[in-house]
Amino acid sequence: MAKQEHHGGILVLGASGQLGRMLRRYWASSQDTAPSHGSEVYWQYRRRPGPETHGHWLQWCPGDPVPGDLGPIRAILALWGVTPAHAKTASDLALNAKLALQAQDLAQDIGAGLVLHCSSAAVYEPRPAAPGAISGAFPETRAGGQINAYGAAKLAMETALMDWAEAHPRGARAVSLRLANVVGADSLFAAIGGALGRSGDHTITLDQFDDGEGPWRSYLTMPDLAHVVDRLVASPPKRLPRVLNVAAPQPVAMEALARAAGCGVNWRPAPDSAARMVALDTSALRQIVPLPDRNAEDMIASWNALRGAQG
């Protein structure tokens, strides 16, 4: 896609969350590519960050006056949201839609032409598939079905954004990024990190299906997520799709990730509710931002590099 002619910064909402911290660390350790189009990045916090925080940041909450200390902003990256780990009730998860609409309203107020929202692969109904096969991958048109509460909340968020777009035909472009599991940010990596922190017992437990295989998932490294954000922000907003799967081209075995990280695997019988394969079809993404294939070793190397980075 052709790049925009005008310039402006990126405002990241939710800098204190896990993805916000990881992205900030990556960009801080990769100044030659952070981001490549030369935009300033502003990081939003609800509370004043610690003295070790560097760069452009602002303290702002929805309902506060529009931030007045920003330069021109071309795009907002809305990383904020309520995850299952922080939700006590379904109404907590419903805040995802409210936050998304608040990001759209903020974009209107500050003149940003694009808002990238974090949705999730949880919007797809899990189903069995052959290990390593990509033929059963979910295209963007297959969302819905018997999904969990978090997936339902994210799908409701996407619907709310579609309704907002219809009501604001000249408004900021809203793009929902259906993210795969992010390397270093999901439950598998929480288990791996915990295992590696123990002395003498670097093992994790995975579900095992009838043929002896464990789960396979689509994953996304932080460098690749940063690259996708960079390219989308540099693209004409109106040419971008409303929803977009974001993942490496091929799914990987969770067992392979664990072993590449140096962990052993203990197996338990997979319950009937366990999903064998959750893979995302990235055909649409490849038309905008082609991502390279990543095997388990590549992903673990990326994770280790990010853990060792300062920023």
Residue in the block written with tokens 């990280």: 261
Would 197 be classed as within a structural domain? no
Q: Say how many domains are in the chain.
A: 1
Would 233 be classed as within a structural domain? yes
Q: What is the pLDDT of residue 163?
A: 98
What contacts 163, CB < 8 A, 6 or more positions away? none
Would 211 be classed as within a structural domain? no
Would 195 be classed as within a structural domain? no
Q: Which residues of 181-205 are buried (b: 16+ CB within 10 A; e: fewer)?
A: bbbbbbebbebbeebeeeeeebebe
Number of residues assigned to the chain = 311
Q: What is the pLDDT of residue 130?
A: 44
Would 187 be classed as within a structural domain? no
Q: CA–CA separation, 175 vs 161, rounded Å?
A: 8
Would 98 be classed as within a structural domain? yes
Tokens coding 92: 């907590």
Alpha helices in 176-295 (DSSP H): 187-196, 222-233, 254-260, 283-286
Structural domain boundaries, residue 135: 9-182+220-249+279-298
Residue in the block written with tokens 């702002």: 60
Whole-prediction pTM: 0.92
Q: DSSP of 94-109, one letter per residue?
A: THHHHHHHHHHHHHHH
Would 244 be classed as within a structural domain? yes
Question: Which CATH number goes with the domain that contains 144?
Answer: 3.40.50.720
What contacts 184, CB < 8 A, 6 or more positions away? 22, 222, 303, 306, 307
State the amino acid at position 277 in one-letter form.
M
Q: What is the pLDDT of residue 198?
A: 92
- Write out the chain's pLDDT in tens, 311 residues: 333 444 689 999 999 999 999 999 999 887 656 576 667 899 999 887 765 565 688 889 988 998 887 889 999 999 999 998 888 887 899 999 999 999 999 999 999 999 999 999 999 998 754 444 445 799 999 999 999 999 999 999 999 999 999 999 999 999 999 999 999 999 999 999 999 999 888 999 999 999 899 999 999 999 999 999 999 999 999 999 999 999 999 999 999 999 999 999 999 999 988 889 999 999 999 999 999 999 999 999 999 999 987 55
Q: In angstroms, what CA-CA distances link 104 with 113, 116, 196, 252? A: 10, 10, 41, 34
Q: What is the pLDDT of residue 137?
A: 93
Q: CA–CA separation, 38 vs 185, rounded Å?
A: 27
Q: CA–CA separation, 233 vs 250, rounded Å?
A: 25
What contacts 192, CB < 8 A, 6 or more positions away? 204, 257, 258, 261, 263
Would 214 be classed as within a structural domain? no
What dihedral angle (degrees, nearest 10) is formed by the CA atoms of 293, 297, 299, 304? Answer: -150
